[in-house]
Amino acid sequence: MRVQTLIKQCPPDIRRVLVLSPGLSPTLDYYLPYVTTRAGDAPIEVCDSSLPCAAPPTLEAGTWAVIFRHAHRSWLDALLRKSGQLARVTWFIDDDIPAIWREQTLPRLYACRTFLNYLRIKGRLERLITDFAFSTPELAARHASPDSEVWPPRKIAVPLVKTRPLYFYHGTAAHRAELAWLAPIVAEVQRQFPEAWFEVFTDRRARELFRGIPRVRCIYPMSWPDYLSYTATFRADVGLAPLLDTSFNQARAPVKFFDITRTGAAGIYSTGPVYNSIVKNGVNGFLVPNEPKRWVEAIIRLLQSPAERLRLATQANRDCGTAAEK
């Protein structure tokens, strides 16, 4: 694409800003503050342009449209139909997208997908874009004259969060069935309790179970010495120990009670012969039948109850010492 530098020709009076971004991304978060400073008092509307445009965007005379990296063709068509209303249309590029296909060091699937997305909208961009912005001087020098506009990244204004509840399940490869059973429970907890984070040990195959669930941290299982070192500083609010009712599981040792207690968390355990022998329901943990709804309720209850978590975890810590002495 032939890039022209037309920024100085754009009307300075911006009445509204429409930002198109393919979902949330570091690019949007680090560079949107710069757009905000340039917009002055003009209202800013941010739209997800990765999906087809379901409704016409709000456009009025003096609108500045900013396209971050990519936009679905339907969004560009909507802008083209209202091009007379637009003060300017800026395409912000933070990677060399037009040349990405020639880069041999990138994964071919990623390079192909990105380049094809660019080709699909290339003609529309050429008719629509009035100016370009780049993330680095090097990128600007490759595609425009030396005085092309380069936008500096800005720090992200992250709101202070007093608490970020964390619950976890540190199972091994032997617990693949438990992981599959637990995944929809985690999805429901995350939907109902958007402040929560979940950490799970999964191999490459099992982590697909949690793909798409927000605020999930997947960690590859580790050796026992490494796990002891890791949990020496790991702290959490709630630990999970689901155990499906199988002949093999009924003969397991209740070691997850000790693992969870070592992290300072309150534990939720499957009702059955393994944990019934060491967990007193409501005293040093929760014993819950393997009913997904009951587990969702128990997890959310503890995530929302710091005092109850502390009481259960404190008693569990005492009982771990007593159990070790028997």
Contact 266, 316 (CB under 8 A): yes
* pLDDT value of position 157: 65
* pLDDT value of position 9: 40
d(CA 58, CA 114): 28
Q: Tell me: do 44 and 187 sit in the same domain.
A: no
Closest CA to 76 of 11, 15, 20: 20
Q: Which residues pair with 270 in a beta bridge?
A: 288
* pLDDT value of position 241: 96
* pLDDT value of position 200: 96
Any domain includes 155: no
Range of the domain at 264: 166-325
Any domain includes 159: no
* Final residue belonging to a domain, choices 116, 150, 184: 150
Q: Tell me: do 97 and 181 sit in the same domain.
A: no
Q: Tell me: do 202 and 106 sit in the same domain.
A: no
Question: pTM here?
Answer: 0.65
Calculate the alpha carbon distances from 254 to 150, 262, 307 in Å. 59, 14, 25
* pLDDT value of position 85: 85
Closest CA to 15 of 53, 59, 54: 59
Q: Tell me: do 92 and 135 sit in the same domain.
A: yes
Any domain includes 175: yes
d(CA 109, CA 100): 11
E strands present in 82-128:
86-93
Residue 303, classed as helix, strand or coil, is helix
Q: How many domains does the chain have?
A: 2
* Final residue belonging to a domain, choices 150, 175, 191: 150
* pLDDT value of position 147: 60
| Positions in the chain short of pLDDT 50 | 1-11, 161-162, 324-326
CATH number at residue 74: 3.40.50
* pLDDT value of position 292: 96
